[in-house]
């Protein structure tokens, strides 16, 4: 590709429009092989030029690979030169993947300012709770001023309201200087409903299929090779040009790819090559609803590992929603919709020892069998990323209520312990560490009134199957829905928030001393439990965790015979006291105890 080249196999003519220093010029373009166009004559390129493309005389439309959209997704593109930035993280060596603690945040609501620079002021706080990887919800261009990020249409851009490309680079540098890796959430399964001009250029979408969010991306039909290249180049852009340490791939189960090599395998291979070139570990995690280890099993032709050989996509891991569901139901008692199958302590026990609850079992919500059984003897549980709260499981509730809205601190401490000290890779959602009282709701800012109305109506329809009252659903287009979702940092030092924060800090200190995740297999996790008395004891190498879900004290010697030096007592931490030196006799009601294995 040359400067200002563009892939546009659909139009008969393409012209480049350039606005440089206030002067507008139009340059004819010539079509080359495979649908690519380039200017007939060289056009001077430097950072800060506004430009677009006329397609058969219509437009100008923004560049599909635009790096900046200063006037929004409908405006002209603007050139950005990543080589002009002088990076300060040359000594950054990355962070180990198997000991990661991920913190998911939305830039627009994490701070009052809602910018990349404002995020940097809170990095010490993240380090205090043991965070190693900061995961940003999508930051690429969308129509409007605020959005979750999953309505993006300009995949190569960085939202100007957050600080644009330069602000993003400053954030990555600040994270690296603080010893924190950065994961970028990216969306390749669909495009947003406003500002998507890609179909005018070429067959980016496959009209023959759709998913929950719209028409699927063309990965395996005519001219799909360039669409796949578009996605792979975007993924590598974040890792290479922005020094990002990993990617979270949104809803990969919605990718339709029946080609000989799945896009995910191709992407995993490309990232592995970059990792080998730079020596910096890169984490690629798929959000998958399939409950299938194909995501992280080695690719065909790759060297076999202890976890298997030759049958997977070779990514690093995947989300496990089953963990969330099991924790949520056992703490809240909520059993509507997809929570119905998880109404037992046994469901939590199965998830902790087998990774998935649905591993070929009947799913009442899906009304079919679902999932694939993991090999306990070979699967490293760090491959599964788990959370007791995340943007989906909060924001997709009717009123965007966190666990804080219904659970006391004692139960929040149990959720924290299961997440941070369980066998999996923990992910925290912004604010959960101090039991933030602010909701996190679904918000949009579509300029088109009809689109805003359709979005609101669609949300109401989604909640019918979950049994939630549609009358309480906030209007996504109401600006207050966005502002209400911003964290209130004034809560951090106030009761009971400060006590919950101390729980997270104490648990983080214990986790930091655990053996590396690569040394652990699912078969190393041992669980005993009682459905009737509602307790569960989890043993993993070096520690034992006793969770009492009941309102009664239970004899510790009976439910945890292998209980050594006490490391953590949730009740004591919440009450601001140090446990007495004498040996514990009982497991307190609604509590979690952590001890060394004798």
DSSP labels, 372-390: ----TTT--GGGEEE-SS-
The yes-or-no answer on residue 287 being catalytic is yes
251 is in an annotated binding site: yes
Q: Does 559 belong to an annotated binding site?
A: no
Same domain, yes or no: 409 and 522:
no
Q: Is 147 annotated as a binding residue?
A: no
Catalytic residue among 206, 250, 341, 539: 250
Residue 252 labeled ligand binder:
yes
Name the band, by pLDDT with cuts 50, 70 and 90, for residue 305: low
Distance CA 425, CA 130 (A): 12
What is the pLDDT at residue 302? 77
Write down the catalytic residue from 151, 287, 341, 359: 287
Could you tell me if residue 413 is inside a domain?
A: yes
Q: Is residue 335 part of a domain?
A: no
Q: Are residues 295 and 391 in the same domain?
A: yes
Residue at which a domain ends, from 84, 116, 148: 84
Confidence of residue 463 (pLDDT cuts 50, 70, 90): low
**296 is an annotated ligand-binding site residue:** no
Cα distance between residue 137 and residue 152, in whole Å: 11
Torsion sign (Cα): 107, 128, 543, 590: negative
Tell me what the mean pLDDT of segment 512-534 comes to.
96
Is 448 within the bounds of a domain? yes
Cα 595 from chain centroid (whole Å): 31
Identify the CA nearest to 286 among candidates 298, 275, 295: 295
To which H or E segment does residue 319 belong? strand 317-319
The predicted model gives 40-47 an average pLDDT of: 92
**Domain ranges, residue 524:** 515-596
**Helix (H/G/I), strand (E/B), else coil: 329:** helix
Task: Answer whether residue 8 shows pLDDT above 60.
Answer: yes
* pLDDT higher than threshold 90 for residue 553: yes
CB distance 302 to 314 below 8 Å? yes
Indicate whether 236 belongs to any domain. yes
In a shared domain, residues 415 and 558:
no
Position 453 scores a pLDDT of 76
Q: Does 549 reside within a domain?
A: yes
249 annotated binding-site participant: yes
Q: Are residues 466 and 403 in the same domain?
A: no
Strands 14-20 and 50-55: antiparallel
DSSP string, 420-458: HHSSSEEEEETTGGGT--S--------SSHHHHHHHHHH
Tell me the β-bridge partners of 429: 104
What is the DSSP secondary structure assignment for residue 105, as one 8-state letter? E
- Closest among 577, 590, 594 to 540, alpha carbons compared: 594
3-class secondary structure for 191-245?
Answer: CCCCCCCHHHHCCCEEEEEEECCEEEECCCCCCHHHHHHHHHHHHHHHHHCCCCC
Asked if 250 is an active-site residue, the reply is: yes
Residue pair 528/441 in contact by the 8 Å Cβ criterion: no
Burial of 413 (0-12, 13-18, 19+ CB in 10 A): buried
| Model pLDDT, residue 455 | 73
Is 164 annotated to bind a ligand? Reply is no
Q: Cβ distance 534 to 546 under 8 Å?
A: no
Q: Find the largest Cα–Cα distance for the chain.
A: 84
Determine the average pLDDT of the residues in 435-455. 89
Confirm whether 376 is domain-assigned: no
Residue 591: its H or E element: strand 591-596
Question: What secondary structure letter does DSSP report for 515?
Answer: P
CATH number, domain of 562, equals 2.60.40.1180
Position 464 pLDDT exceeds 70: no
The response to whether 365 counts as a known ligand-binding position is: no
Q: Has 325 been labeled as part of a binding site?
A: yes
Please report the pLDDT score of residue 424 as a whole number. Answer: 98
Q: Summarize pLDDT for 404-415 with one digit per residue, the tens.
A: 999 999 999 999
Q: Tell whether residue 396 is among the known ligand binding residues.
A: yes
How confident is residue 596, by pLDDT bands cut at 50, 70 and 90?
very high
Q: Are strands 425-429 and 214-217 parallel, antiparallel or unpaired?
A: unpaired
The answer on 206 and 296 residing in a single domain is yes
Residue 189, helix vs strand vs coil: coil
537 plus 588 within the same structural domain: yes
- In this structure, the answer to whether residues 160 and 241 fall within a common structural domain is yes
Rounded (10°) angle between helices 224-240 and 263-278: 30
Q: Is the pTM of this model over 0.95?
A: yes
Measured in whole angstroms, the distance separating CA 472 from the mean position of its chain's CA atoms is 27
Distance CA(327)–CA(420), nearest Å, equals: 13
List the CATH number of the domain containing 56.
2.60.40.10
Mean local confidence (pLDDT), 13-22: 96
Averaged pLDDT of the chain: 94
Residue 550 has pLDDT above 80, yes or no: yes
Q: How high is the pLDDT of residue 575?
A: 95
Structure confidence at residue 591 as a pLDDT band (50, 70, 90): very high
Closest CA to 180 of 69, 102, 296, 265: 102
Residue 397 has pLDDT above 80, yes or no: yes
Band of the pLDDT at 111, cuts 50, 70, 90? very high
Asked if the structure places residue 79 within a domain, the reply is yes
Sign of CA dihedral 384, 388, 390, 396: positive
Q: What percent of the chain has pLDDT over 90?
A: 87
Neighbours of 187 (CB within 10 A): 23
Question: For residues 547 and 559, what is the distance between their CA atoms, to the nearest angstrom?
Answer: 10
Task: List, in order, residues 6 or more apart from 303 with CB less than 8 Å away.
Answer: 309
Q: How many domains does the chain have?
A: 4
Do both 472 and 522 map to the same domain? no
Nearest CA to 181 out of 126, 257, 109, 222 is that of 126
Burial of 502 (0-12, 13-18, 19+ CB in 10 A): middle
502-526: average pLDDT: 96
Residue 2 has pLDDT above 90, yes or no: no
Same domain flag for 167 and 274: yes
| Contact predicate 546/587, CB 8 Å | yes
Q: Is 43 part of any domain?
A: yes
Sign of torsion over alpha carbons 464, 466, 470, 473: negative
146 is in an annotated binding site: no
Task: Give the contacts of 23 (CB within 8 A, at least 6 positions apart).
Answer: none
pLDDT for 386 beyond 90: yes
48 and 107 both lie in a single domain: no
Task: Kindly provide the b/e burial profile for residues 22-58, where b requires at least 16 CB atoms within 10 angstroms of the residue's own CB.
Answer: eeeeebebeeeeebbbbbeeebeeeeebbbbbbbeee
The residue-averaged pLDDT of 4-23 equals 96
Q: Do 532 and 388 share a structural domain?
A: no
Q: Is 488 among the annotated ligand-binding positions?
A: no
322 annotated as a binding-site residue: yes
Kindly give, in sequence order, each residue whose CB lies less than 8 Å from that of residue 381, ignoring residues fewer than 6 positions away.
355, 423, 424, 517, 520, 521, 522, 525
Asked if residue 484 and residue 465 are part of one domain, the reply reads no
Which letter, b or e, does each residue of 90-109 get, where b requires 16 or more Cβ atoms within 10 Å of its Cβ?
Answer: eebebbebbbbbbbbbbbbb
Q: Cα 185 to chain center, whole Å?
A: 5
pLDDT at 211: 83
H or E segment and range at residue 595? strand 591-596
What band does 590 get if pLDDT is binned at 50, 70 and 90?
A: very high
HEC sequence for 475-490: CCCCHHHHHCCCCCHH
| pLDDT over threshold 70, residue 465 | no
């Amino acid at each position: 590709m040359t400067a200002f080249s563009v892939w546009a196999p659909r139009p008969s003519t393409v012209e480049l429009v350039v606005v440089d220093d206030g002067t507008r010029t139009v340059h004819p373009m010539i079509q080359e092989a495979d649908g690519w166009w380039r200017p007939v004559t060289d056009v001077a390129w430097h950072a800060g030029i506004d430009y677009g493309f006329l397609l058969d005389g219509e437009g100008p439309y923004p560049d599909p690979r635009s790096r900046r959209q200063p006037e929004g997704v409908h405006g002209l593109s603007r050139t950005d030169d990543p080589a002009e930035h002088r990076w300060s993280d040359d000594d950054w060596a990355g962070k180990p993947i198997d000991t990661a603690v991920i913190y998911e945040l939305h830039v627009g609501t994490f701070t009052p300012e809602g910018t990349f620079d404002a995020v940097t002021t809170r990095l010490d706080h993240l380090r205090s709770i043991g965070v190693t990887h900061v995961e940003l919800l999508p930051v690429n261009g969308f129509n409007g001023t605020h959005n979750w990020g999953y309505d993006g249409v300009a995949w190569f851009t960085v939202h100007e309201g957050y600080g644009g490309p330069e602000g993003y680079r400053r954030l990555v540098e600040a994270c690296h200087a603080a010893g924190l890796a950065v994961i970028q959430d990216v969306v390749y399964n669909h495009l947003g409903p406003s500002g998507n001009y890609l179909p005018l250029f070429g067959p980016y979408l496959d009209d023959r299929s759709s998913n929950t969010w719209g028409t699927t991306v063309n990965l395996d039909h005519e001219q799909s090779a360039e669409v796949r290249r578009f996605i792979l180049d975007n993924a590598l852009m974040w890792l290479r040009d922005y020094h990002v340490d990993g990617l979270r791939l949104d809803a990969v189960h919605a990718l339709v790819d029946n080609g000989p090599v799945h896009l995910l395998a191709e992407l995993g291979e490309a990232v592995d090559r970059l990792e080998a070139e730079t020596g910096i570990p890169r984490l690629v995690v798929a959000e998958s609803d399939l409950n299938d280890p194909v995501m992280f099993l080695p690719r065909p032709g790759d060297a076999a590992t202890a976890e298997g050989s030759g049958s997977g996509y070779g990514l690093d891991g995947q989300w496990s929603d089953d963990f969330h569901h099991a924790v949520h139901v056992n703490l809240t008692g909520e059993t509507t919709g997809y929570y119905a199958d998880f109404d037992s302590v046994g469901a939590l026990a199965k998830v902790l020892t087998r990774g998935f609850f649905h591993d070929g079992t009947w799913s009442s919500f899906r009304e079919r069998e679902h999932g694939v059984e993991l090999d306990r003897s070979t699967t490293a549980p760090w491959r599964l990323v788990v959370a007791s709260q995340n943007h989906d499981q909060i924001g997709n509730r009717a009123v965007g209520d966190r666990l804080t809205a219904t659970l006391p601190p004692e139960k929040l401490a149990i959720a924290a312990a299961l997440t941070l000290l369980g066998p999996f890779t923990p992910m925290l959602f912004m604010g959960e560490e101090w039991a933030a009282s602010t909701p996190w709701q679904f918000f949009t800012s579509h300029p088109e009134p009809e689109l805003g109305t359709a979005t609101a109506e669609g949300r109401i329809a989604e909640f019918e199957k979950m049994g939630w009252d549609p009358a309480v659903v906030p209007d996504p287009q109401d600006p207050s829905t966005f502002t209400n979702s911003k964290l209130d940092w004034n809560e951090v030092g106030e009761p009971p928030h400060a006590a919950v924060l101390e729980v997270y800090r104490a648990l983080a200190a214990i986790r930091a001393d655990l053996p590396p995740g690569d040394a652990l297999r699912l078969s190393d996790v041992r669980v005993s439990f009682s459905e009737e008395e509602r307790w569960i004891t989890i043993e993993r190498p070096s520690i034992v965790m006793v969770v009492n879900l009941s309102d009664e004290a239970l004899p510790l010697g009976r439910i945890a015979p292998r209980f050594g030096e006490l490391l953590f007592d949730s009740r004591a931490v919440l009450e601001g006291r140090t446990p007495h030196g004498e040996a514990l006799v009982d497991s307190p009601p609604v509590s979690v105890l952590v001890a060394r294995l004798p």
